[in-house]
Structure 1
Amino acid sequence: MLEHLHTPCLLLDETVLRANIKGMADRFKQIGVPLRPHFKTAKSIEVARILQDHGAKSWTVSTLKEAEYLSSAHFKDILYAVSIVPQKMEQVMALSRNGAQMAICLDSPEMADQISSMKLDGPAPKVYLEVDVDGHRTGVTTHDQRAIETAIILSRAKNLEFAGLMAHGGGVSYAANGKAELEAAAEQERTTTLSVKAMLQTAGIACPHVSIGSTPTALFGTSYEGVTDVRAGVYMFQDVFQANLGMCALEDIAATVLATVISHAPHLNRIVIDAGGLAISNDRSCATQRNDCGYGFLSDVDGYVDPLLYVEGVSQEHGYITTRDGSSLPFELYPLGSQLRVLPNHSCMTVAAYEGYNLINGNHEGQWWDRCNRW
């Protein structure tokens, strides 16, 4: 079925995708907290429509290009979850003028001052104060006076609407080992964010919303009391890193890269495919995990994972496959010209190389779904 596709190319298993989306949506319907899906991985209107079918009404993006793409298809309630700078505000306001209900985030009184003193042409965007819950990336810390200073500026701004707090538990949770540690990471994300809310309330500052989330904390949180919505994204596609964390099985990985065997190197015990660092990414986040996959695990075209194989290395357009235990490769099983599928180490990085998805399995098998790239 896939022989006609030029490789390397991106495959999306619709049946697996729909199951992943339904599983997370059903979980939060039962919990009773809205899910605000993160669009940063999928970047596809067709995927957004599936999310909408399962109840999604609001969206998270990592680029303003994603926001424009969503808004053009009438998905309007959008949080741009990357720290804002003044240079991007005209793009934000253009979206607002065109009907999007835009929300932005920041984490300093300096930036709050700059944005609040700008002349903004259009409806006032909501602004979240970002909280650092685990020493990872951006955000104010608990008991940080700058959190109060920033919130005061935002709450008094005439051109902005202070929305509350947001956090991303992407540090401790991504380093967790086992269910207990994942549950603890999720609870840390929630309670740390709520402690900042309590600090603001003590200072007399209303904090209407608390938005938290990552795929691990969304799947393993045991309480969402005090939380307004939950953001997660990679769960739609999953990847080997998530499988190693216990988020899914390898069979739950929806996005894979189809590649062709282009060379045999018996003297190196190596098979070479036409998918290198540009096609499957150079991400090596699995290197810190027990079940290291190199640059990806391998399956045949039907999705059967060969536990013996992994991509041990890449150059720009070449992927180098060998055995995980050092045993001899069964070259006869993978002749020149045959196809393999690479299960990505980090799907967000892998799919970013492609303009769209070749659908396999499900009702839209054989179709092409566009995706939004760039910024």
Structure 2
Amino acid sequence: MKLDQLDTPAALVDIPRMNRNIARMQSRLNALGVKFRPHVKTTKCREVVHAQLAAGANGITVSTLKEAEAFFAAGVTDILYAVSIVPSKLPRAMALRQRGCDLKLVVDNTRAAVEVARYCAGQKEAFEVWIEVDTDGHRSGIAPEQDALLEVGRILHDSGVKLGGVMTHAGSSYELHTPDALSALAEQERAGCVRAAQRLRDAGFPCDAVSVGSTPTALSAEKLDGVSEVRAGVYVFFDLVMRNIGVCSTDDIALSVLTTVIGHQPEKDWVIVDAGWMAMSRDRGTSRQTEDLGYGLPCRLDGTPLTDWVLSGANQEHGILSPAHETQQTTNLATRFPIGTRLRILPNHACATGTQFPEYHALSADGETTVWSRFHGW
């Protein structure tokens, strides 16, 4: 189907842009001499993940056990579940391993380590477990110099659980926007994770994997000495937050929402479209950045950005396009944006927008679309 035949709103994936993004990241990490384990939570889509693996990725990262189950069923066996495990999820994780999935778990505290060790003893079968390291104070993990790092390592190792490595995520990179700041954080991320691995090895514990990553640091690291693999997810589609950070351009953003003009409010300079927050999500990530793009940046049907407009407001099923600048002089709205006009909206956060839809319409270079399913839930 062509774009003018699709019901709106609809999630579009520009295949040439996506493939270019995949090739860019894979080529960069190949040159730096590390493996790449893409985070598939962004897309939750088999076609996208198969393209990443075909380009040279080694294994995948997931954020839910449902993702692990779905991609294992699709033939992917090397999977890192990169959220600290809790006891209630251990039986489901073990079921995957017993079916042949090389599923790796993550812990970042002694209680979780004890629970994993106890469960494995009862099952007489061990997981491979990695320790999450906090290298930037952003979210979860144990700081590289904390005593708890070695205590968790001891609990796992002494109980017969395989201590597979350490992993970290420099999520604070989303708060930066200059090349120097990004490269400095990438080095901080690398050095902290390598230091944690060395402390474990010095204490007599195995620690083969040293896994780092976020899209901004993966694209900004100048060296990755001591690192075995990198993880990144949103790079495959990119979004407006990544554009404001400076790691992609508007022309790299591969995900957009197809929408239709359904009305006007001339006295307010508003154009009403049928993509509200149910389509775009409520993510307002650009509001904390140097350029606030509301709920998204509108484009013409061919993808040309309308830089003088912004999706400034969103109700459940209504989106509001308004001038990007207060002094902007608008022409007759009904002439410029007639009822039925189709537009594309670039999202703030590709992960959040993608999850609003049960499927993508993958757009090829010849303008034809193909349906790619995605899945929801945990």
TM value normalised by structure 1 = 0.96
Cα separation, 1, equivalents of 2:123 and 2:317: 46
User: How has the CA–CA distance of structure 1 residues 64 and 314 changed in structure 2, closer, same or farther, with 3 Å as cutoff?
Assistant: same
Partner of 2:188: 188
Q: 1:365 aligns with which of 349, 352, 368?
A: 368
Cα separation, 2, equivalents of 1:346 and 1:108: 30
Question: What secondary structure, in the 3-state scheme, does the structure 2 residue paired with 1:118 have?
Answer: helix
User: How has the CA–CA distance of structure 1 residues 364 and 78 changed in structure 2, closer, same or farther, with 3 Å as cutoff?
Assistant: farther
Asked if the contact 2:3–2:368 (Cα under 8 Å) also holds between the matched residues in 1, the reply is no
Cα separation, 1, equivalents of 2:367 and 2:41: 22
Deviates more, 1:141-150 or 1:179-188: 141-150
What count of residue pairs does the alignment treat as equivalent? 373
Cα separation, 1, equivalents of 2:89 and 2:367: 37
Q: How far off is 1:329 after superposition?
A: 3.4
Q: Given residue 111 of structure 2, which amino acid in structure 1 is its aligned partner?
A: E
Given the alignment of the two structures, is residue 29 of structure 1 paired with residue 19 of structure 2, yes or no?
Answer: no
Instruction: In structure 2, list runs of 5 or more residues that go unmatched.
Output: none
Partner of 1:316: 316
Cα separation, 2, equivalents of 1:362 and 1:231: 28
Partner of 1:61: 62
Partner of 2:206: 206
Partner of 1:294: 294
Partner of 2:117: 116
Given the alignment of the two structures, is residue 333 of structure 1 paired with residue 336 of structure 2, yes or no?
Answer: yes
Question: What secondary structure, in the 3-state scheme, does the structure 2 residue paired with 1:305 have?
Answer: coil
Q: How far off is 1:59 after superposition?
A: 0.6
Q: How far off is 1:337 after superposition?
A: 1.1
Cα separation, 2, equivalents of 1:140 and 1:322: 45
Q: How far off is 1:373 after superposition?
A: 1.4
Cα separation, 1, equivalents of 2:330 and 2:118: 64
Deviates more, 1:356-365 or 1:221-230: 356-365
Cα separation, 1, equivalents of 2:113 and 2:26: 34
Deviates more, 1:267-276 or 1:324-333: 324-333
Q: Given residue 19 of structure 1, which amino acid in structure 2 is its aligned partner?
A: R
Cα separation, 2, equivalents of 1:329 and 1:75: 52
Cα separation, 1, equivalents of 2:339 and 2:125: 59
Asked if the contact 2:263–2:273 (Cα under 8 Å) also holds between the matched residues in 1, the reply is yes
Asked if the contact 2:164–2:206 (Cα under 8 Å) also holds between the matched residues in 1, the reply is no
Asked if the contact 1:278–1:317 (Cα under 8 Å) also holds between the matched residues in 2, the reply is yes
Given the alignment of the two structures, is residue 76 of structure 1 paired with residue 74 of structure 2, yes or no?
Answer: no
Identity between Structure 1 and Structure 2 (%): 39
User: How has the CA–CA distance of structure 1 residues 44 and 364 changed in structure 2, closer, same or farther, with 3 Å as cutoff?
Assistant: farther
After superposition, what is the alpha-carbon deviation per residue over 1:60-86, rounded to whole angstroms, capped at 9, x for unaligned? Answer: 001111111110011110000011101
User: How has the CA–CA distance of structure 1 residues 273 and 364 changed in structure 2, closer, same or farther, with 3 Å as cutoff?
Assistant: closer
Measured on the aligned residues, the alpha-carbon RMSD in Å equals 1.4
Q: Given residue 54 of structure 2, which amino acid in structure 1 is its aligned partner?
A: D
Question: What secondary structure, in the 3-state scheme, does the structure 1 residue paired with 2:34 have?
Answer: coil
Asked if the contact 1:259–1:274 (Cα under 8 Å) also holds between the matched residues in 2, the reply is yes
After the TM superposition, which residues 248-259 of structure 1 pair with which residues of structure 2 at under 5 Å, given as runs? Answer: 248-259=248-259
Cα separation, 2, equivalents of 1:122 and 1:44: 34
After superposition, what is the alpha-carbon deviation per residue over 1:131-155, rounded to whole angstroms, capped at 9, x for unaligned? Answer: 1111111101132111111111111
Q: Given residue 236 of structure 1, which amino acid in structure 2 is its aligned partner?
A: V
After the TM superposition, which residues 271-282 of structure 1 pair with which residues of structure 2 at under 5 Å, given as runs? Answer: 271-282=271-282
Question: What secondary structure, in the 3-state scheme, does the structure 2 residue paired with 1:206 have?
Answer: coil
Given the alignment of the two structures, is residue 354 of structure 1 paired with residue 357 of structure 2, yes or no?
Answer: yes
Cα separation, 2, equivalents of 1:136 and 1:130: 12
After superposition, what is the alpha-carbon deviation per residue over 1:217-255, rounded to whole angstroms, capped at 9, x for unaligned? Answer: 100001111001000010000000001111111111111
Q: Given residue 144 of structure 1, which amino acid in structure 2 is its aligned partner?
A: Q
Question: What secondary structure, in the 3-state scheme, does the structure 2 residue paired with 1:191 have?
Answer: helix
User: How has the CA–CA distance of structure 1 residues 13 and 78 changed in structure 2, closer, same or farther, with 3 Å as cutoff?
Assistant: same
Cα separation, 1, equivalents of 2:263 and 2:270: 9
Asked if the contact 1:14–1:364 (Cα under 8 Å) also holds between the matched residues in 2, the reply is no
After superposition, what is the alpha-carbon deviation per residue over 1:325-370, rounded to whole angstroms, capped at 9, x for unaligned? Answer: 1224341221111111110000100000111110112479321011
Given the alignment of the two structures, is residue 223 of structure 1 paired with residue 226 of structure 2, yes or no?
Answer: no
Asked if the contact 1:263–1:336 (Cα under 8 Å) also holds between the matched residues in 2, the reply is yes
Cα separation, 1, equivalents of 2:367 and 2:68: 25
Asked if the contact 2:163–2:205 (Cα under 8 Å) also holds between the matched residues in 1, the reply is no
Cα separation, 2, equivalents of 1:205 and 1:246: 39
Given the alignment of the two structures, is residue 374 of structure 1 paired with residue 372 of structure 2, yes or no?
Answer: no
Cα separation, 2, equivalents of 1:30 and 1:290: 32
Question: What secondary structure, in the 3-state scheme, does the structure 1 residue paired with 2:4 have?
Answer: coil
Question: What secondary structure, in the 3-state scheme, does the structure 2 residue paired with 1:37 have?
Answer: coil
Deviates more, 1:86-95 or 1:360-369: 360-369
Cα separation, 2, equivalents of 1:287 and 1:75: 37
Partner of 1:131: 133
